[in-house]
Amino acid sequence: MEFHRIRTRKSNLELKYAHGHFVTNHSHTNYYIDITTLKTRLKEAEAVARELVTHYRSSTIVDTILCLDDTQVIGACVAKELTSAGFMSLNAHETIYVLTPEYNSNSQLIFRDNTMPMIRGKNVLILMASVSSGITLHKSMECVQYYGGKVAGLSAIYSSTNEVDGIPVVSVFNQDELPDYHSYNYHDCPFCRQGIKIDALVNGFGYSKMG
């Protein structure tokens, strides 16, 4: 695959992507967004966090950051940015939890007895690497609500959708950078109809080439 970069004026913030035929857990897409360094290298993660928290500093209470797609480094940086800014928190310890979910055999999010208090009664910010169809975010929101939490916000490094279930998705990059980005249902993929081979299987953790 050939990768390209979209550079920004902000230090340590650029989007790496490849064009082709890619398969996610829920859809087929014409782009693979590679956010590996943005979520694993500290300087890039700090830059992402600074960009995201500008949307939450004065208007949202966050008690817990739920990190999906291996975004714990960014989640920790977001928590640090919010607490250093004197951000509002209802936690008894006046801090922010950074939590990753566990998945059962049906790929459903679950929380054990020791982590449930970090969700129940808390204002939870859900953080993802990238959002295409919004299905994973929808399931995550349902999970947070099931365990007694309140969804305080939705964030991602890249998102092709502006909102999920009426809640805005705050992202560093969106379809303004890739206006021809498309996500297709498995049964309605134009690449499959044309017999175009799949380039890679992708998810929030990375990609695996086909063939």
pTM of the model: 0.89
* Tokens 């650029």 belong to residue: 14
Over the chain, what is the mean pLDDT? 90
List, for residues 135-192, the tens digit of each pLDDT value. Answer: 889 999 999 999 999 999 999 999 988 999 999 999 999 988 899 999 998 889 999 9
Q: What is the band of 91 on the pLDDT scale with cuts at 50, 70, 90?
A: low
Structural domains for the chain:
3-209 (3.40.50.2020)
